[in-house]
């Protein structure tokens, strides 16, 4: 059997020396790559923060969204029933008092009127006849040619004929009125908001044909929560329209529902607008603003300026050019659309951090830059 020659011991010794030398070399190389602890590190630029001046708080206010309504928007109907032959208006048409809205087929009403006129003529002829008979009987009675009973009978017949004539006259006037009711006329100036019957349709007495919104003024209808009902009557109201954001209409509370809605538990309120130009159109979305005079407290800061530590609210106070920010505890009185009304150690000439407040601390070096509330926000290097 062939055997491998023995490996000399000095071969293992040479391999171990090479391994040690390699390890030492790698260690020296790694040490050379480390930065010198005594070398100065790269300077980090301070973070830029935007600040805005606080503003004086206006009187506390409430805002509600609602809809522009007409003060009077009622259905218009015939006072008699019949077949609708013509309708002279459509949705959106403006009408004046006395304008014809629709007509019914007058055939049956003409016949009824003619019959009542004939009955009245017959009753008048009978009344004239009985009156002549009574006159002759009275003459004969004076001469003693007829009895008192004959005179009494003639008097009764004449009285009955006279009353029958009155009744016939009333029926004739009623038939003429009903004939006139076949023409539906507008009672007030306004605009047609709905059409509820078409020509050829048989409508019943009192069935609505159209709806007319009277031109008596426009109102904003809103729902008031029950917690705010007590303050509505003493607040100064104004109305803005989403379609006309730059226009404000003075308003006054005209009507407040005495009973809450069963589902929403809110009270319906109507505010009359001062709109002589007629800019507020029916159905527009409106915002009713209620300002409570004499209740201005605190200062106004941006909503993004308020941050919390647990249950406590704070803002960062800093003036342009400062390198540090200071935490100021505040109490949030209320929140408007874009501002928070807070109370704390903030003067009206103070500045507060308006963006990124939750990412700051009192020890952080910052560069404070003032930003006007109307300035655009820049993202990256482009607007």
Query: Region 32-50: what's the mean pLDDT?
Result: 58
Instruction: Look up residue 203 and give its two tokens.
Output: 């409508």
Query: Region 286-304: what's the mean pLDDT?
Result: 78
Q: What is the pLDDT of residue 69?
A: 92
Q: What is the pLDDT of residue 234?
A: 80
Evaluate if residue 179 carries a pLDDT over 50: yes
Q: What is the CATH number of domain 73-106+182-213?
A: 2.40.50.100
d(CA 224, CA 315): 33
Answer yes or no: are the C-beta atoms of 220 and 118 closer than 8 Å. no
Q: What is the pLDDT of residue 21?
A: 36
Give the DSSP letter string of 286-325. EEEEEE-TT---SEEEEGGG-EEETTEEEEEE--TT-S--
Question: Confidence band (pLDDT; 50, 70, 90) for 277?
Answer: confident
Averaging pLDDT over each range in 12-16, 79-83, 248-252, which range is the top one?
79-83
Which of 348, 350, 351, 346 is closest to 369 using CA atoms?
351
Evaluate if residue 8 carries a pLDDT over 50: no
Evaluate if residue 26 carries a pLDDT over 80: no
Lowest mean pLDDT among 4-8, 56-60, 97-101: 4-8
Q: What is the DSSP letter of 381?
A: T
Residue 220 β-bridge partners: 68, 271
Evaluate if residue 14 carries a pLDDT over 70: no
* Burial of 137 (C-beta count, 10 Å sphere; 0-12/13-18/19+): buried
Instruction: Look up residue 47 and give its two tokens.
Output: 């973070």
- Residues 234-256 have pLDDT tens digits of 888 999 998 888 888 999 999 99
Query: Region 150-159: what's the mean pLDDT?
Result: 94
CATH 1.10.3470 fits 107-180, yes or no: no
Answer yes or no: are the C-beta atoms of 289 and 247 closer than 8 Å. no
Q: What is the pLDDT of residue 185?
A: 95
The residue ranking higher by pLDDT, 229 or 90, is 90
Question: Confidence band (pLDDT; 50, 70, 90) for 378?
Answer: very low
Residue 227: CB partners within 8 Å, gap ≥ 6?
Answer: none
Evaluate if residue 381 carries a pLDDT over 70: no
Query: Region 57-74: what's the mean pLDDT?
Result: 82
Query: Region 16-27: what's the mean pLDDT?
Result: 42
The CATH homologous superfamily to which domain 62-70+216-291 belongs is Efflux pump adaptor protein, beta barrel domain (2.40.30.170)
CATH number belonging to the domain at 49-59+296-370, selected among 3.90.700.10, 2.40.420.20, 3.40.50.720, 1.10.600.10: 2.40.420.20
- Residues 110-146 have pLDDT tens digits of 999 999 999 999 999 999 999 999 999 999 999 888 8
Sketch the domain layout of the chain as residue ranges: 49-59+296-370, 62-70+216-291, 73-106+182-213, 107-180
The residue ranking higher by pLDDT, 13 or 61, is 61
């Amino acid at each position: 059997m062939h055997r491998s020659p023995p490996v000399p011991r000095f071969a293992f010794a040479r391999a171990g020396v090479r391994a040690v030398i390699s390890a030492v070399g790698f260690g020296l190389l790694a040490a050379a790559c480390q930065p010198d602890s005594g070398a100065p590190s790269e300077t980090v630029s301070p973070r830029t923060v935007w600040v805005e001046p606080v503003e004086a708080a206006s009187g506390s206010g409430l805002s509600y969204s609602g809809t522009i309504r007409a003060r009077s928007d009622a259905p218009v109907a015939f006072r008699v029933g019949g077949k609708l032959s013509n309708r002279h208006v459509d949705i959106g048409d403006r009408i004046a008092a006395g304008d014809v809205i629709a007509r019914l087929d007058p055939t049956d009403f003409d016949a009824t009127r003619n019959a009542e006129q004939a009955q009245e003529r017959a009753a008048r002829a009978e009344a004239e006849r009985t009156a002549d008979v009574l006159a002759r009987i009275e003459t004969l009675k004076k001469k003693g040619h007829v009895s008192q009973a004959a005179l009494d009978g003639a008097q009764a017949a004449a009285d009955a004929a006279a009353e029958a004539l009155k009744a016939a006259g009333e029926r004739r006037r009623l038939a003429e009125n009903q004939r006139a009711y076949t023409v539906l006329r507008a009672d007030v100036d306004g605009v047609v908001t709905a059409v509820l019957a078409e020509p050829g349709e048989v409508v019943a007495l009192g069935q609505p044909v159209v709806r007319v919104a009277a031109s008596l003024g426009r109102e904003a209808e809103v729902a008031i929560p029950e917690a705010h009902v007590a303050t509505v009557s003493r607040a100064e109201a104004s109305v803005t329209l989403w379609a006309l954001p730059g226009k404000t209409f003075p308003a006054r509370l005209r009507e407040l529902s005495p009973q809450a809605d069963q589902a929403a538990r809110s009270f319906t309120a109507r505010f009359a607008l001062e709109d002589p130009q007629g800019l507020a159109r029916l159905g527009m979305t409106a915002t009713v603003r209620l300002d409570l005079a004499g209740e201005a407290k605190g200062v106004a800061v941006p909503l993004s300026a308020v941050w919390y530590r647990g249950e406590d609210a704070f803002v960062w106070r800093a003036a342009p050019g400062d390198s540090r920010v200071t935490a100021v505890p505040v109490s949030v009185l209320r929140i408007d659309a874009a501002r928070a009304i807070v109370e704390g150690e903030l003067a009206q000439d103070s500045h507060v951090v308006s963006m990124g407040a939750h990412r700051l601390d009192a020890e952080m070096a910052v560069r404070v830059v003032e930003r006007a509330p109307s300035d655009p926000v820049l993202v990256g290097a482009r607007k």
